[in-house]
Amino acid sequence: MSDIPISPDDVLEEGDFQRRRSDLLDTTRELLAENDLPALRLILNNQHPSDLADLLGQFSEEDQPRLFELLATTLGASTLSELDAPALHSLFEHLDDRTISRYVERMEPDDAADLLGELSEERRTGVIAFLAEQTTETVEELLPHAEDTGGGIMTSRLVALREDMTVEDAVNHIREWGHGDEVFYLYVVSENHRLVGTVPLKRFVVASPGTKIRQITKPDPLSVRPDMDQEEVAHIFADYNLLALPVVDDQGVLIGQITVDDIVDVIKEEATEDFYEMAAISSEEMEERSAFGVVKRRLPWLLVCLGGTFLSGAVIDLFSDSLSKLQGMVLFLPGIMAMGGNSGVQTSTVTIRNITLGSSVAFGNILRGILRELRIASTMGILLGLLVAGVARLWTGDTVIGGCVGLAMCSAIVVAAALGALIPVVFYRFDIDPAVASGPLITTMNDALSLIIYFGVSIVLLHFFRPGFL
């Protein structure tokens, strides 16, 4: 059996994180094969929920329920909060409504709402029927909010103090209603529960017991509406270095808070989604359990690629007569196409990153960004063009062909960079996720344009320097 630490609380050295998970996986497989459930229960119940979620994902749908049933209810609830949708759905098939409700009772309100949102309407109703009345009220307040909004990731657990409280009253209130949760901010509300401000912990700690809360309140805090997109909320956290952010309704009533741990999950989720879309893969594909379902999602974009190859083939066919006289130049076709495509993808990636990070897309900033990328592309194009011109001259022994290849290389890189900067902005303006522009679309367009530029430049230069050659 692998010698893994029972407790995950020791100091982690470099490489220990993945090694720990690998050792845990090996040990779990060995104990499961031996059906040594007591030892397995002891080890699993001393692990972090994140490690357990990763572990369950390594096992088949048949073994996942066996392992999950060994967890204590509180740890199981935390682990459910960490699981991805496919693993959740697999476990749902083996858990009845009453069992799921026991886990929901021990979850944070926002995690409980997310879990219930993964259930079908029929099963959700069945689970809610077993919940305590207070839990039902709390969760049902969160369920109507879309999953990718501020309301979808907020929790209703927070500490709210009235303005007319004394510090001593506030301390007693925190002791009674702190729920054992970490307190990031103390929110101050009016009699009608409208958000008034926050009390910095330093002011709160040093204030005398009889001090009124309104005297140490910092007014006009940052807050967001529940319908704000979660990505924009993440930008606010990053820009203002926040640990939590209050959520208020249209009347300014405090209804919840978003904490930094949920923002970390949002950043991971948004980054993963962008990476998938840059490869023309839908993020929903990870929840697709059938191979045919995945094929249906990927096939349209592959058809776009296929159409692009036909377009490139049509360009080659258009210049086929000239190609028969330019056999030496055919050697450099792959290089021209590859460098043009790479330049476009690099530029589009930078543009998408700026948009994703919330950079302004006002016309002036767009123009400055495009001009900057064009200056970079022009510099790289000139350097690479000179390099490939020299190689072509040495390879073919023809100075004119070397000039054609070098100029075409430079032009293809600059044009591809311009497309890479413009297309994401156009997508963004039409409310289309710009990440999709970095996939097959830009690459396919650049392939065809690189060919047109290459052949066009070659024909013009050869016609000028060698009249009657073509």
Answer whether residue 408 shows pLDDT above 80: yes
- With tokens 């309407």, the residue in question is 121
Q: Where are the alpha helices (DSSP H) in 93-130?
A: 97-105, 109-117, 121-128
More confident site: 360 or 13: 13
Pairing of strands 160-162, 186-189: parallel
Among the listed residues 407, 416, 295, the one whose alpha carbon sits nearest the alpha carbon of residue 344: 416
Answer whether residue 272 shows pLDDT above 80: no
Predicted confidence at residue 364, as pLDDT, reads 63
Least confident of 239-243, 340-344, 387-391, 436-440: 436-440
Q: Is 272 helix (H, G, I), strand (E, B) or coil?
A: helix
If one looks up domain 283-465 in CATH, what number appears? 1.10.357.20
Residue 167 · residue 204 · CB < 8 Å: yes
Predicted confidence at residue 379, as pLDDT, reads 94
Q: Is 344 helix (H, G, I), strand (E, B) or coil?
A: helix
| Averaged confidence pLDDT in the chain | 83
Q: How confident is the model at residue 177 (pLDDT cuts 50, 70, 90)?
A: confident
104-131 pLDDT tens trace: 999 988 889 989 988 989 999 999 999 9
Residues 58-84, mean pLDDT to the nearest whole number: 92
Answer whether residue 78 shows pLDDT above 80: yes
Among the listed residues 154, 156, 151, 158, the one whose alpha carbon sits nearest the alpha carbon of residue 137: 156
Predicted confidence at residue 346, as pLDDT, reads 82
Q: What is the DSSP letter of 157?
A: -
- CA-to-CA distance for 397 and 328, rounded, in angstroms? 10
Most confident of 210-214, 278-282, 458-462: 210-214
The CATH homologous superfamily for domain 16-148 is: MgtE N-terminal domain-like (1.25.60.10)
Residue 172: which residues within 8 A CB-CB, separation 6 or more? none
- CA-to-CA distance for 372 and 420, rounded, in angstroms? 12
Residue 134 structure tokens: 């207070």
Answer whether residue 16 shows pLDDT above 60: yes
If one looks up domain 160-259 in CATH, what number appears? 3.10.580.10
Enumerate the domain spans of the chain: 16-148, 160-259, 283-465
Residue 218: other Cβ atoms inside 10 A: 14
Predicted confidence at residue 447, as pLDDT, reads 80
Give the pTM: 0.65
339-393 pLDDT tens trace: 888 888 888 877 777 776 655 455 566 677 778 888 999 999 999 999 999 998 8
Percent of the chain with pLDDT over 90: 38
DSSP states along 18-81:
HHHHHHHHHHHHHHHHHT-HHHHHHHHTTS-HHHHHHHHTTS-TTHHHHHHTTS-HHHHHHHHH
Among the listed residues 355, 391, 396, 347, the one whose alpha carbon sits nearest the alpha carbon of residue 372: 347
Residues 259-278, mean pLDDT to the nearest whole number: 77
- Nearest-5° angle of CA 138, CA 175, CA 128? 15
Predicted confidence at residue 360, as pLDDT, reads 47
Answer whether residue 11 shows pLDDT above 80: no
